[in-house]
Each structure stands twice: as structure tokens, then as C-alpha cells.
């Protein structure tokens, strides 16, 4: 007997039905008991909720908690009540048929867990009555959060007892897809992704995508993330990003969350961390001849800040891009000579000066990968000998490449890579909305 089943609940049930197996197996490391999922599934039958946008303070809700109710079995009714400005617990209890003495006793019972004076407008209380005794309050739940409430109930002897009740939330994967017309952010909002999730998504993709140049109308995305539901099947909050796909003009990027030996991180399909570092030494076999900091310029003669590192190397030695990024500028100036500036994720830029020449194809707007040869050591500009002058800038200011702390970059190997690949296959099947493919 189902009196209310909101659309949200229907969705949860459908999702649980579709995703029970993948849910349990997809999120390695966070074991979700199957029993919990079943609990959610069953509880959906038991209770109803008003539509979220229904502008009412008090709603009578019929709750059917019996498996096969006999016609005479009493039913427990719930009434949700949102606290208004200035209202006290005592008043609200009095309003629900408690005498003054009873209300004081019930408030005192709550006091061992929660100070009733901390009750705030917008907080929800749920009052319960049996339908065969609608004038006698059975119990009341003071909701502190979606996960916790203080339950006050009437004991046999008429006194009141309180209990601190924690309700487990169940994460369920949710999928949103969309097509980009302007920006990924705008399309994400349209698809119903929240700002936090979008910020994470953009930050993670920014290691591989130049959002100014690579995103074009018609590009598409799929985002898989956790939604947390309470035991009644109500949506409570979003959890973390699980997986995402971004389909650009000429490439498709995917990332996957994985719990490994080093905690949680996001990986590409090959098991490499999505967050990438910059190379501290973008040249092989070179000798550091000048560090970062204040010194006297060998040619100009005055003291100044040396905003980078100098590596002495023979003319023609290849210079590597310190990280994945986009060529921002290729210039030839008096001081730096022939130099290249690369733009990387999260506000980083790198500069490579005194080149003899740039590598073929290195021009503004071109994407480069970490380690790719972008030019060759020379002695153009103001220099006493062949060397690479290398600078790293963060948000426009030079920083010392030798001491900068990057997030750890890893490639999963061995057994951990196998675990990742299993996890990835499940996330990918949810992300792409198809059953896992057999991989030979
Ligand atoms: Zn230098």
C-alpha cells in the first residue's frame, strides 16, 4: 500500500534496480553493504514525502510500516513541522497535544543530547501519532541534519526518553550528460551539476584541456558522481565525482576516481594520475649553474633577483616541455633571445630562454606534452655561454622550480593497476550507460 511515491523516490528505486550490482562493485575501497541498498529499496514503500517545492509548513504524511496490514492494525502517522523564527521546542510540543508538564519533561529528555535553545528556523521536527489515538503524541524527531536526529518517545510509564539516532546515508551513482554550446561550466549547470562538482571537474580536466582553445560548440560530456540518499529514499546531498568523459573535436578524455595504496586520486584510463607535475629539470644531462634568488648579473653587473634556474649544456641539446600545456608565446628579445613560454594547468607558466632555435611546429596555440622537445640550447640574448634559463611562474609571479611542492604524480602498476582496471571498467560502464564490455 503506497500512498505517496514522489518522483525522486521513483528515480531512486529505478536507479537501485539498475545499478545495484555496479554500485556495490564500482566503488572499490568504499564498501557499500548490499543490505543498506535493500533497506533503501524497502523503505521507499514505507513512507512518502511531499514534493520539495510544496510551500506548506505542516504536512500530514501517511506512513505504512506494516508488510501486510490487517484492516484493524493501527497506523503511525507522521507530521513534519518546520521551525519558524522565534518558536521554541516547548511551544512546538505544546502545539502537538502535550501538557505543559509533559512538554517540559520531553524538553529535558532532549537536553542530554541537544540544547533545545539551539533550535533554529528552518529545522524540521517530525511528530508521530497512531491513527487510533490521534490526540496522543507517540514520538517526535528533532532533525539536526540529514544524518542525525534526536528522537523523543513516550515510555510505558508516560515519561519521555530521548535517543541520539544516526541515520546512514547511501551513496548512489548519478549520471549527467550534456552538450556544450558555450562553456563547459555553463553546460554543466544546465545539466544539473552543482558548482563544487564542476569546479573539481574543470580543475582535473585543466591538466589536459586548454579551456580557452580546446572547447568547441557541440563537444559533449558525461559526469558520474555520488548522490547520498537517506533511508527513506530522500536525496540528501551530492558526494564526490566518480568518473567523467569529455569529448572534444579530436580526442576523448576520461578520468576515474580510485582508492589506492596512497589514498584517493583521479586517474586516466591507463592508470596515470590526472594531476600532473612540472619537470624540475626540463633538460637532460645538464648542470645547474645558477639557482633561484638574488645575485649579481654576470653581464649587467648589478644585483637582481634571478627568477629561474640556469642549466649549462652544449649548444643543440634538446629542451623538453616541463609539463603538458599550450604554447603561449615564441619570441626573440634582447635579454632572453629566442624563448618559448608554455601555459599549464592551474595558473602555471614556464619559460625557456637563450635557445638556438625552437623545435619544428612550436608556435603559439600548439599543445605540447610533458617531455616533448620544444627547442634547443643556444646562447641567444644576454648570456656568457650556452645554457638554458628556465623559469616557472604561478599566477604571474616567478617561483623556485627546485622547491615547489607539486601533488604526487603516479602511474599505477602491478596488482594495484589490476584493481584500478576493474574499478575503471565498472565506472566506465555506468558512465557510458552500457554493461561492462568483455576485454580480451
Ligand atoms: Zn638565468
pLDDT at 416: 94
Q: How far is the CA of 71 from the centre of ligand 1 (A)?
A: 88
Residues near ion ligand 1 (Cβ under 5 Å): 310, 389
Summarize pLDDT for 44-66 with one digit per residue, the tens: 333 333 333 333 333 333 333 33
Q: How far is the CA of 426 from the centre of ligand 1 (A)?
A: 49
Q: How far is the CA of 321 from the centre of ligand 1 (A)?
A: 17
Summarize pLDDT for 275-304 with one digit per residue, the tens: 877 877 888 767 788 778 766 666 666 667
Nearest 5°: the CA angle 131, 137, 141 is: 110
Q: How far is the CA of 218 from the centre of ligand 1 (A)?
A: 44
Domains in the chain (CATH in brackets) are 21-43+170-275+408-440 (3.10.450.350), 56-166 (3.10.450.350), 287-399 (2.70.70.10)
- 428 grid coordinates: 566506465
pLDDT at 302: 63
Q: How far is the CA of 307 from the centre of ligand 1 (A)?
A: 7
Q: Give every CB contact of residue 258 below 8 A, 6+ residues apart in sequence.
A: 28, 29, 264, 265, 266, 267, 412, 419, 420, 423, 424
Q: How far is the CA of 400 from the centre of ligand 1 (A)?
A: 12
Q: How far is the CA of 306 from the centre of ligand 1 (A)?
A: 6
Report residue 120 CA to chain centroid gap: 29
Q: How far is the CA of 299 from the centre of ligand 1 (A)?
A: 11
Q: How far is the CA of 391 from the centre of ligand 1 (A)?
A: 8
Nearest 5°: the CA angle 26, 27, 28 is: 105
Q: How far is the CA of 327 from the centre of ligand 1 (A)?
A: 20
- Other CB atoms within 10 Å distance of the CB of residue 190: 14
Q: How far is the CA of 370 from the centre of ligand 1 (A)?
A: 22
Cα Rg, the chain, nearest whole Å:
31
Alpha helices for 160-284 (secondary structure H): 184-190, 195-205
349-385: burial string, b at 16+ Cβ within 10 Å, e else: bbbbbbbbebbeebeeeebbebebebbbbbebbbbee
- 246 grid coordinates: 569529455
- 13 grid coordinates: 528505486
Could you tell me which residues are beta bridge partners of residue 362? none
Q: How confident is the model at residue 152 (pLDDT cuts 50, 70, 90)?
A: very high
Q: How far is the CA of 430 from the centre of ligand 1 (A)?
A: 51
> Phi-psi category of 263—alpha, beta or left, where left has phi over 0 and alpha has psi -120 to 50?
left
pLDDT at 205: 87
Report residue 311 CA to chain centroid gap: 40
- Other CB atoms within 10 Å distance of the CB of residue 49: 18
Residue whose C-alpha cell reads 558520474 in the numeric block: 224
pLDDT at 369: 86
pLDDT at 300: 62
Q: How far is the CA of 407 from the centre of ligand 1 (A)?
A: 26
Q: How far is the CA of 298 from the centre of ligand 1 (A)?
A: 10
**First vs last Cα of the chain: how many Å apart?**
48
Cβ(140)–Cβ(152) below 8 Å: yes
Amino acid at each position: 500500500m503506497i500512498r505517496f511515491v514522489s518522483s525522486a523516490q521513483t528515480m531512486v528505486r529505478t536507479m537501485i534496480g539498475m545499478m545495484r550490482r555496479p554500485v556495490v562493485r564500482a566503488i572499490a575501497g568504499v564498501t557499500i553493504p548490499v543490505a543498506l541498498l535493500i533497506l533503501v529499496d524497502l523503505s521507499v514503500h514505507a513512507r512518502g514525502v511531499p514534493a520539495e517545492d510544496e510551500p506548506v509548513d505542516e504536512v500530514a504524511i501517511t506512513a505504512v510500516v506494516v508488510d501486510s496490514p490487517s484492516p484493524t492494525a493501527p497506523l503511525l502517522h507522521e507530521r513534519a513541522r518546520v521551525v519558524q523564527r522565534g518558536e521554541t521546542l516547548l511551544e512546538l510540543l505544546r502545539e502537538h497535544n502535550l501538557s505543559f508538564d509533559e512538554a517540559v519533561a520531553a524538553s529535558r529528555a532532549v537536553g542530554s543530547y541537544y540544547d533545545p535553545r539551539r533550535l533554529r528556523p528552518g529545522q524540521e521536527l517530525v511528530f508521530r501519532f497512531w491513527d487510533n489515538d490521534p490526540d496522543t503524541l507517540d514520538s517526535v524527531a528533532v532533525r539536526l541534519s540529514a544524518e542525525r536526529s534526536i528522537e523523543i518517545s513516550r515510555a510505558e510509564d508516560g515519561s519521555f526518553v530521548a535517543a541520539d539516532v544516526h541515520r546512514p546515508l547511501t551513496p548512489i551513482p548519478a549520471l549527467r550528460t550534456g552538450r556544450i554550446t558555450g562553456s563547459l561550466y555553463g553546460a554543466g549547470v544546465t545539466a544539473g551539476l552543482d558548482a563544487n562538482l564542476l569546479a573539481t571537474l574543470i580543475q582535473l580536466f585543466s591538466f589536459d584541456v586548454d579551456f580557452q582553445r580546446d572547447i568547441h560548440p557541440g563537444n559533449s560530456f558525461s559526469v558520474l558522481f555520488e548522490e547520498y540518499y537517506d533511508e527513506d529514499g530522500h536525496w540528501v546531498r551530492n558526494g564526490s565525482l566518480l568518473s567523467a568523459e569529455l569529448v572534444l573535436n579530436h580526442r576523448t578524455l576520461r578520468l576515474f576516481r580510485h582508492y589506492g595504496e596512497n589514498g584517493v586520486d583521479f586517474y586516466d584510463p591507463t592508470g596515470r594520475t590526472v594531476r600532473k607535475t612540472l619537470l624540475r629539470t626540463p633538460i637532460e644531462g645538464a648542470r645547474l649553474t645558477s639557482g633561484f634568488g638574488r645575485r649579481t648579473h654576470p653581464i649587467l653587473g648589478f644585483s637582481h633577483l634571478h627568477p629561474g634556474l640556469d642549466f649549462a649544456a652544449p649548444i643543440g641539446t634538446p629542451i623538453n616541455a616541463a609539463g603538458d600545456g599550450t604554447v603561449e608565446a615564441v619570441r626573440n628579445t634582447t635579454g632572453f633571445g629566442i624563448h618559448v613560454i608554455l601555459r599549464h594547468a592551474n595558473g602555471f607558466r614556464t619559460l625557456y630562454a637563450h635557445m638556438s632555435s625552437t623545435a619544428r611546429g612550436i608556435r603559439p596555440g600548439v599543445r605540447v606534452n610533458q617531455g616533448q622537445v620544444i627547442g634547443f640550447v643556444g646562447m641567444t640574448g644576454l648570456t656568457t655561454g650556452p645554457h638554458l634559463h628556465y623559469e616557472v611562474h604561478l599566477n604571474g609571479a616567478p617561483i623556485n622550480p627546485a622547491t615547489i611542492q607539486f601533488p604526487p604524480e603516479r602511474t599505477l602498476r602491478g596488482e594495484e593497476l589490476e584493481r584500478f582496471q576493474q574499478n575503471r571498467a565498472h565506472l566506465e560502464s555506468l558512465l557510458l550507460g552500457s554493461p561492462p564490455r568483455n576485454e580480451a
